Structure 1
């Protein structure tokens, strides 16, 4: 019979820990948060010391009932929620709820914390329990109160001034500002032309370039040569002076060391997973959570990595020793530095009690675990394992050379290269980059001596144009959020998801682009709530929350300092700013119909240019159009199949489509892009063909070409192969993380499924 009850957040974590503890323990899960602020105005009361009104979360009631039942046979309760502020707050809420129900009575409640789910870590935590930290709870309460006060005051304001359904948040709004300001910077950017001059040289088996660094005694800068005629003049002069060869003026050789990157913290894991694996921040954290909570390794539930929400790069001493021993055994003693590498945390308020993200045991290398993990889990674990091992290896060593060459008395060229002499940590792992460099870092140059002549093949001019700063990717946005102190690593994934869910930004070629609504919301906030979307203000507020968690500040005065000026600004904006002020942007252009001023306005489909005299004047045009309203774009060579009127390309909520010019009398529409043919006959009507189409949400599906007469459709790619089990005329290709790609019967009642790889091998045999 259990005498001890240990409560964690997740059932997966409970399953793993339950195998580590004896029969006297019962491990149950709270399934996350158990109570939250009441979802209406008044949940936080500034007039009474920011008193917060909580209520149990409905979905947690059955889990609380199970905990209550277990308490009847329990002597001691251990609260083992996650080792961060949010986890501390969940433990506090659990204690409060159970105490209010009178279930704790004289039962002691103790808080235990571990950063990895291993038998050793769990046992050690239970041997060293503590009380719930009031400071950490107050910091989380202050964060929750701030987010509530901002959301419940700014969001209704946006509904009135812009559009219903919008929201603003304490950290999401500065993040949106980052994306919008980058887009505006790109739009303002004016490209500048410049030319580079490069010599192509050949020496024995080596062909290598050298760039011009000096011409006629003047140093060559980026904009020294700005047009083709100047570039040709420089080239002719250099060719004439060189006489077919450049002379080596100076050879500089030196050795360069490169040290490994620190082990992962939350933000760097999200960045690197985006760069190398193409994972979103949200996906990365979901997979990391699975690895942390435990994976079934042949009947044993094992937590594979340490806690994944951390901003500390520190590693436990026993972990460092294990890694160094492993490196010596696997890669050789010469790959271990004389002293363990110690990394300093860059974040100002890192929780140093935490560790970096690392494998719970470096002996579990990725290759041995691959069969037990899903493809995504294997990829992320491989990344974490390699980064951790590399962080304790010796530096990489390069031989670098810089050669200065002369073209007579006309100019100087520079050729650079480097050779990897000793790979060190690079043999295991190399950090990715956000933007690729044009420089060839691993170019090998021939052995040259001063005064030596190097044959010149040609001198080439190349035209360039300066480029605007790139849009943010997930990796670079996370990096910017971290640098500006916007939010904390554990919140980055939710910040990005919220911006996308609210349709403030969209992903285009894996880069964030603000929508029209996102631009207007940002303009409204930056004009009327400048202080609250200021990057420094947001960072200072995070610093204050950190100070509360350390016990250096009281949480109520922090809220008081924020609330009074913020509420005043909300009331002032509500009274003095009209919806037209927010959604309309005046233009210095007259309406071609009535001569009244034109303005950029916000409609259901985004921003457009319209007459300020509306509704008396209905003139409108697309924002991109610069002059008169363009005539409708006709579809050449076709007419409406229903009424024989001309077909036009129209714009709708989900993009462009083909529609009848006689609308609304005739409502014929069809997709602009012709569906892709699959060559598979519809199994239901046996007359049409299954075509690949795209749903309004962008998901691919396959449906009959005779739609709407025949409405047969499947989600997975069809195959013109009958089901060997039930005889249905087609199979489909279905891919899942666990089972890979299979040929399956689309009829659920059949259930036929076989590995596509196995059938391919059988056919090959």
Structure 2
């Protein structure tokens, strides 16, 4: 529908299904892959006749000729079956390339993962675990991203560390991977280009498993606590923002997390047993009217925060909070 055009175009650009070339949209390799998988696994939904039928039903709902629950019920019954079938059978195809593995000379195949995006993997996997990061240039050609040498020695095995990229920025990884999985956060000096290892921030807490110090790390879901003895000790723990989970009987605490696309949200440390989550940062001060959880919001055009109760039946809001009452009460 015309009212959804802008939202749809924004979504397919944000998800990198298309890119702009000379003021026109061009499908990316990821977009072509998603399209191919959808057609193969959701034939009815991808059929243009189905779209026309749904448009007609929506018009009937708008005119009061068709109950919306009946229309949605008919669609969802078949759609949910297709989703379950796709979960069992859908597999992202791998594509052979002209590249050869530098370790065993087997062919390299192009694969996709949610964490890394496109990458090359040795076709002899799992016997050979060689992998390479890749990127498509503006002409659609596949280019291997060679890791940049750092002249920094791995403190675990003595091999040189190399500069790599993730969706969260640059980091150093041991060139001895997968035998050595040591990584270090790094920042690049904009003037000199020098790689500077960022010292991991230690906290006044020890690992309950081995007694080593805990350090703050950044992962897919945001900051978290990890044992400094990794990989010998794999203990991890989420970081509290100082607010207890408001769900009755939960006993968890609120932590800062990130979506797959990097957007910050706040969720319970007891996930998945507790699925409480909000987009706006909670504060420990309770609502003075109902005792509910309050969150920090910024209204459009203003850099000054307001504090709002999340209880829809309350609606309390204020521009000031009692700093004494807003102390740490989480774990």
- TM-score tier by shorter-chain length is 0.3 to 0.5
Q: Which structure's residues are more often helix, by fraction?
A: 1
Larger relative contact order (C-alpha < 8 A, sep ≥ 6)? 1
